[in-house]
Amino acid sequence: MKRVFVRMLVSMLLLAMIVPLSAFAQKKMTITLWTKEGEGEEGLGGETIYGEIVNLTKKFSQTHPGVEFEVVSYGVEDLRQNFQSAAFAGAGPDLLWTVSDHAGPFEAMKLIKPVDEVFDKAYIDKFVKPGIEAVELGGKVWGVPLNVGNHLMLIYNKNLIANPPKDTDELIKVGMELTKDLDGDGKPDQYGLVYNLNEPFFFAPWLGGFGGWPLDGTEPTLNTPAMVNALQFVQDLKFKHKIVPMECDYDAADSLFKEGKAAMIVNGDWSLSSYLTDEVKKKVDLGIARIPKVTETGLWPSPMTSGIYFMFPEYVSDDKIEVIKDFVEYVCSEEVQLMFLEAHMRLPALEEALTNPLVTNDPIIKGSSDQMVVGKPMPTVPEMRAAWDAIRPNQEAVMAGKAKPEDAAKAMQEACENLIREMKK
Amino acid sequence: MLPLTWDIMVQGLSEVVKLVLLVATVVIILEALAYLILVKWLKLKNALAFMLILPALVGVAILILYPFGFNIYLAFSNMSMYRFKEFSVGLKYGIGNLLDVFRVPVLQRVTFFQLFLRTFLWTVINVVFHVLGGLFLAILLNRPMRGKAIYRTLLVVPWAIPQVIAALAWKCEFHYQYGFVNILLEKLGFQSVQWMSDPFWAFVAVVIVNIWLGIPFMMVTILGGLQSISPDYYDAAQIDGASGWQQFRFITLPLLNPILTPAIILGVIWTFNNFNVIYLVTGGGPMEGTDILVTSLYKAVFEFYRYGFGAAYSLVIFLFLLVFSMIYLRISGGFKGAWEA
């Protein structure tokens, strides 16, 4: 009996040693790619962006035998947090497909490699300048751009409004005409304008339109007349002119617009393909314009532009980097970039691809790139995190009618300074 | 969307099988070592008992003791975004972190004590309603009636739905214009409430969601307790002429105590540390009006990269719960039976 037990034990131990050895023998390489693209909306080809990525990796594997990919999708915030935890333990993905603002914290934590160590300068120069500048920190480039843009714009339904407003006075005027109570219950069921009211990212264009910006370098500039005026403006949209819903988050705005219950929406380039599906086309005839010029200042509102980037974890081994480099060049090739443009309305980051007739001839894509030119790159410095979180609760207070714009601006500045101090401790 | 193919299923299953095999191998090696040491070498009388609890002990050590120790280590460090990999550890950092918890605003507007008060309120309101609601429903169910199984199943539904889905569904129901709650209020002749813009109402909203979610657990637990009380006590009490209330007060409640005590302690700890509901329904907003200790802890660590501070902060929360549990156990005597038996 005892002998049987010992024999079993020995054979088990041997088995445990053989299993990992056989894995080495096959000489396979698995590249783990973490992407912020979800399985959410399908593009015009009927494929989600996540699905496109998986297809791209499969095509790549055909030309690179032995290379396999594991594509993992996370929400933007989850990707950042999970990568931090994984990289702290010295493990994690081999390649990141994420947004430009992650470059700031990842660089500060020393979790990613500068792109200059992977690619030569000639390759980096192929991309549009703002795309590279957005991820330049400390004189080095920290990501390879996949798409530029990610910017907000005015999207309108031509069935409800023939011509987009030119300035904010006109916006308010037509907004009031288009906010209607159709069924006579005393509440509007069609709105002039909808957007994610409480989200700082959706407030940023107005801040720019009034001549302000959250940061000057790394210094917060939140308690400014521009901020006060911009806050007053968005508060008035809700309480004085009543052209936006009483409560409106991203999903509510999106649904209202898709159902033809809102004439205009401020939304990003990522949403465009979802407004062009057959289902939505029944109710929405899509038009794109710049967010209307602020009458008081004569400035165009400046949505934050950023983009989607490949970033390279610092711990990835050299032989893997060689393969990853090939993959990045493949995905950033003109052919693939134009595929993303056609199917998902993502503006290419390659200079060459932007001159393609696909970009210059399509009214929607042209509208989107027309808005992008007046946008400003979103600051990538880690201090921006503090600015976001300082703006948010105070913006919420203004939009709830609970704070005066002057007090909110002051509170933002104070909070932002505190947060930066705590972060740097 | 990617279709779920056989390939994917086989791949998933093979990962599971690999892990199970790995765990089994480790357990066998451990047991073999234990057998050699405890039985062959030390010749212990209780060797079998040790061998039986050994895998669980190792599991607890890896999954709980090690992370807990690491948390204490981090609490005495200055780890933050700018010192993510090269942080220093020392007593002065630990003391600084601990003082900071009480000294500086944990978020932007709210300080530790405000958050603590709010967390206290949140916990008390929730647990009181959980226990009262659960007790009420359990007593209703604990008597002969038709269709009992159906009622019981329906009442357990909130517990059976994944919390994330339930919370997100509730979030939509609190929408100003299209949510069920406001539509109902209007039909009843009340004004619509701005649930997601007003901090007070947002707090009410998350409390409602959490009460809804928490009652089934208490109901099931208490129902189990009620069913274990012998009917003989009630028969005797009825012969002595005790009223319904007296029976409840002097038979049901005392005999439920051994069940209620752990349930309440668990309820308090879960509610005190309930992150999901608040994070998913309001995200702590508006104006940080629904943040409690754990949600602000999450923000400090994962949004502001204040790892050292966050670790110290979590230790403070842990100590509060530890002290609470010890005091509650002493007062209620709930575990007495278990120790004396």
> pLDDT band at A25, cuts 50/70/90?
very low
* A41-48 LR contacts (CB < 8 Å, sep 24+): A41/A273, A41/A274, A42/A277, A42/B1, A43/A273, A43/A343, A43/A344, A43/A345, A44/A273, A44/A276, A44/A277, A44/A342, A44/A343, A44/A344, A45/A342, A45/A343, A47/A343, A48/B1
Cβ pair A415:B286 closer than 8 A: no
- Chain A contact set for B2 (CB, 8 A): 39, 50-51, 54
B1 CB-contact burial (10 Å; exposed 0-12 / middle 13-18 / buried 19+): exposed
Cβ pair B306:A393 closer than 8 A: no
Beta-bridged to residue A225, according to DSSP, are none
Residue B150 lies in a domain: yes
Phi, psi (rounded to 5 degrees) for B124: -65, -50
d(C-alpha B297, C-alpha B179), whole Å: 30
Closest CA in chain B for residue A42: B1
Half-sphere exposure of B117 (CA within 13 A, CB side): 5
Residue A277 above 70 pLDDT? yes
Residue pointed to by tokens 């497909």:
A97
CB proximity A343 to B under 8 Å? no
Q: What percent of chain A has pLDDT over 70?
A: 93
Residue B98 lies in a domain: no
> pLDDT band at A22, cuts 50/70/90?
very low
Could you tell me if B168 and B300 lie in one domain? yes
- Chain A contact set for B71 (CB, 8 A): none
> pLDDT band at A417, cuts 50/70/90?
very high
Could you tell me if B204 and B144 lie in one domain? yes
* Structural domain boundaries in chain A: 26-150+305-377, 152-304+379-424
Residue B312 lies in a domain: yes
Could you tell me if B244 and B166 lie in one domain? yes
Give the minimum alpha-carbon distance from B307 to chain A in angstroms, rounded to a whole number.
Answer: 10
Cβ pair B178:A245 closer than 8 A: no
3-state secondary structure of A51: helix
pLDDT tens digits along B170-181: 998 998 878 899
A26-150+305-377 is a CATH 3.40.190.10 domain? yes
Residue B82 lies in a domain: no
Could you tell me if B269 and B308 lie in one domain? yes
A152-304+379-424 is a CATH 3.40.190.10 domain? yes
* CA dist B179 → A252, B196, B205, B252 (Å): 11, 11, 12, 41
Q: In tens digits, what is the pLDDT along chain B, a chain of 341 residues?
A: 456 788 888 988 999 999 999 999 999 999 999 999 988 888 888 888 889 999 999 999 999 999 999 999 999 998 888 888 888 888 999 999 999 888 877 777 788 889 999 999 999 999 999 999 999 999 999 888 888 889 888 988 888 889 899 999 999 899 887 889 999 998 998 888 888 888 899 999 999 999 999 999 999 999 999 999 998 999 999 999 889 899 999 999 999 988 898 899 889 989 998 999 999 998 887 878 899 999 999 988 888 888 999 999 999 999 988 998 888 888 876 566 555 54
- Chain B contact set for A386 (CB, 8 A): 304
Tell me what pLDDT residue B63 has. Answer: 92
Could you tell me if B200 and B256 lie in one domain? yes
* CA dist B329 → A327, B134, B260, B334 (Å): 60, 21, 11, 6
* CA dist A68 → A33, A71, A320 (Å): 10, 10, 12
Give the minimum alpha-carbon distance from B99 to chain A in angstroms, rounded to a whole number.
Answer: 13
Residues of A (240-299) whose Cβ lies below 8 Å from B: 245-247, 249, 252
Phi, psi (rounded to 5 degrees) for B231: -65, -15
Cβ pair A423:B2 closer than 8 A: no
Q: Concatenated DSSP letters for B104-144?
A: S-SSSS--HHHHHHHHHHHHHHHHHHHHHHHHHHHHHHSS-
Nearest CB to A245; choose among B29, B109, B177: B177
| Paired tokens of A86 | 């994984």
Residues of B (99-118) whose Cβ lies below 8 Å from A: 104-105, 108-109
Last residue of a domain, one of B56, B75, B94: B75
CB proximity A396 to B under 8 Å? yes
Closest CA in chain B for residue A394: B287
Sort strands A219-220 and A215-216 into parallel, antiparallel or unpaired: antiparallel
Residue to test with chain A: of B178, B303, B307, most A Cβ within 10 A: B303
Does the pTM surpass 0.90? The reply is no
* CA dist A289 → A152, A163, A197, A292 (Å): 10, 9, 20, 8
Report yes or no: A39 and A30 within 8 Å, Cβ to Cβ. no
Sort strands A29-35 and A95-99 into parallel, antiparallel or unpaired: parallel
Closest CA in chain A for residue B194: A247
Which residue range is the domain that position B165 belongs to? 104-340
Report yes or no: A390 and A166 within 8 Å, Cβ to Cβ. no
d(C-alpha A174, C-alpha A191), whole Å: 10
Could you tell me if B245 and B166 lie in one domain? yes
Nearest CB to A51; choose among B2, B85, B175: B2
B81 CB-contact burial (10 Å; exposed 0-12 / middle 13-18 / buried 19+): buried
